[in-house]
Structure 1
Amino acid sequence: MPRPSPARRSLLALAALGLSASCGLAAAQGAPATPGWPTKTVRIIVGFPAGSSPDLTARTFSEPLAKVLGQPVIVENKVGAGGNIGADAVAKARDDHTIGLFINGNLTIARLINPQVPYDPARDFAPLTLIGVSPLVLTAAVGQSDVPASGDARAFLEAARSAGDRWSYGTPGVGTVGHLGTELLKARTGIDPVHVPYPGYPQVATAMGGGQLQMALLPPALALSQERAGKLKRIGVTSAGRSTLVPEVPSLSEAGVRDFELEIWNAFAAPVGMPAAVRARLSTVLSEIARTPEVREKLFQQGWQAVGSSAEGLANRMRADTAAMARVIREQNISAH
């Protein structure tokens, strides 16, 4: 058989790429599933308020997921306890139509810091997919006399050391990554601000703008919007180097902070009792959605680098981060009380 010409081969290659792009979600839709599932509305439970980063991510997925599944998909906010109330609701769901959108703290830290948390991430959840990853941004309040007006990290950390426990920092709750990350930052830099928990990151940002807090670790998108509004300053990112999400912001390592690297992520997980075939379909569909250009762009605008991992990839990340956070908790003697 004669070989196709170079031009013909190029056309065939382009056609194959187009077919692959157009059929991604179609392939996901054909993933194995329990016959007849879903039979009713699918719920995505989020443990944080409307407008929070996890809530925005869940709503980004709800419409494309509904299109693939052929049933409505709704987002329910069950707020409190650093996301643990929502996580517990997912763990106890028995309708085979409920999943959760989690931050990494709920899937790694919760039980480490408080054995009384009513669910066990390793036992009660079936990982579906890692959605996105991001550093946090150290932010500072504006218009407070003892907070440096510049965004220079060295000057800010020196002022924080001088302030001691007269400064406060906010997080979405005890045991969240923002909490443990700031405690680790305290250990690495000699600062000593007091922890003040809030229901979610938006409330932390509001408190900073209102003068109740001097500093916080915030997601990049929220930090940027608050800086543009003149309500806070971005000091540095918690990644090892500069992040593509906020390339103009220096890393804290550039300011001399050593042995400090922190990343947040969000992920979908299901109750462990959900049928394996249903979990497999959801894992495939959700990871495919995360990798579509439209959703990748939306996630980037929300401050996430899209991943869309396999269920196994998320399980591996959960194990690795649980071990790392256990070391921080042990070193800093952190507890829920």
Structure 2
Amino acid sequence: MTARRPLLALAAALALAPAWGIAQQAQGAAAPATPATPGWPAKTVRIIVGFPPGSSPDLTARTFAEPLSQALGQPVIVDNKVGAGGNIGADAVAKATDGHTIGLFINGNLTIARLINPQVAYDPARDLAPLSLIGVSPLVLTAPVGQDGVPSSGDARAFLDAARAAGDRWSYGTPGVGTVGHLGTELLKARTGINPVHIPYPGYPQVATAMGGGQLQMALLPPALALSQERAGKIRRIGVTSAGRSTLAPEVPSLAEAGVRDFQLEIWNAFAAPVGLPAPVRARLSAVLAGIARSPDVRAKLFAQGWQAVGSSAEGLANRMQADTAAMGRVIREQKITAQ
């Protein structure tokens, strides 16, 4: 029981973190006019994405490319630098010196990567300058259909009771060690007394396939993927990891409704720049990107991609990075999670 007490503080930190993003969104709505940056941009602006074309981060970056180009008066291209869970792309942004490069990141690259592996080449806190938190999303606890020992209903209490009874005979899948899905499930284990074994996969689609194939008993999946797999008759959605019901899956109860207390988890994406980019340029980009995220057209596109639009200030993103880094760091230490 004593070992779990630090996780109560972690859960509280996770519960507070999204509220900061919402507060900063409200502040951004009243932000001053976009700062002037004479002579910039002088050439094409590049958005580096550490994931392949067609991935969720890539789709978000391409959603922003055209309106950002219109706002800046220069072409904007998306440059995919794939590998190491997005860390290759993140390192490329951190080392960019051309004055016209930014990056679209998932939260793992800005918070978790270096906590798991201190040998990661870049330091988010030192090498990257926050620009704007773009979108947030809960994950969905899911279970396979038609697997022996897994409750056939979508009732979260019955599912968690079965998971506790199964102990380490159950397995859960994630896109890899140190991802939000991994750390979130470890927190869920600590909060509920379940003990499934972790099996990492290359990505969320492979996790869903493995669960549909009977190799896993549970997983935290993004809402859009969870819904498509449920419609295909392969999985059931059990509960969302947000504090209350999410507009991305309003028909799915939160895990809090099933009695899981002080547990809140979100994935998110954000823009950041090399720390060496001049402050006036960063201020202009922050204001422009936040405005694009809050525009009705882009907000609708983000929602279709599975994101609740935020469009925070740079300070809002910095606060979120700091809170999530501290919170996830506690999970990593308490659960003794290391790079594999």
Normalised by the length of structure 1, the TM-score is 0.85
1:38-70 CA-to-partner distances (Å, cap 9, x unmatched) read 412x22222233333222212211221122223
What is the deviation of 1:36?
4.2
The DSSP-based 3-state class of the residue aligned with 1:313 is helix
| Amino acid in the other structure paired with 1:33 | T
* Equivalent residue number for residue 35 of structure 1: 39
Paired residues of 1:81 and 1:173 also in contact (CA < 8 A) = no
Structure 1 vs Structure 2 CA RMSD: 2.1
* Equivalent residue number for residue 298 of structure 2: 295
The DSSP-based 3-state class of the residue aligned with 1:109 is helix
Paired residues of 1:185 and 1:260 also in contact (CA < 8 A) = yes
Q: How do 1:81-120 and structure 2 match up within 5 A?
A: 81-120=84-123
| Amino acid in the other structure paired with 2:149 | D
Is 2:234 aligned against 1:231? yes
Is 2:171 aligned against 1:168? yes
Is 2:173 aligned against 1:134? no
* Equivalent residue number for residue 244 of structure 1: 247
Alignment counterpart, residue 332 of structure 1, candidates 325, 330, 335: 335
Structure 2 distance, partners of 1:270, 1:189, is 39
Say how many residue pairs are matched.
310
1:211-233 CA-to-partner distances (Å, cap 9, x unmatched) read 33322111212212221222221
* Equivalent residue number for residue 125 of structure 2: 122
Paired residues of 1:208 and 1:232 also in contact (CA < 8 A) = yes
Paired residues of 1:168 and 1:214 also in contact (CA < 8 A) = yes
* Equivalent residue number for residue 74 of structure 2: 71
Paired residues of 2:106 and 2:267 also in contact (CA < 8 A) = yes
Structure 2 distance, partners of 1:314, 1:58, is 17
Paired residues of 1:49 and 1:200 also in contact (CA < 8 A) = no
Pick 1 or 2: higher relative contact order, CA cutoff 8 A, min separation 6: 2
* Equivalent residue number for residue 150 of structure 1: 153
Structure 1 distance, partners of 2:56, 2:225, is 8
* Equivalent residue number for residue 21 of structure 1: none
Structure 2 distance, partners of 1:154, 1:259, is 16
Identity %: 84
What is the deviation of 1:34?
4.9
Structure 1 distance, partners of 2:175, 2:103, is 18
Larger radius of gyration: 1
The DSSP-based 3-state class of the residue aligned with 2:253 is coil
Structure 1 residues 335 and 303: alpha-carbon distance in aligned structure 2, compared to 1, 3 A threshold: same
Structure 2 distance, partners of 1:68, 1:211, is 49
Structure 1 distance, partners of 2:37, 2:205, is 38
What is the deviation of 1:253?
1.5
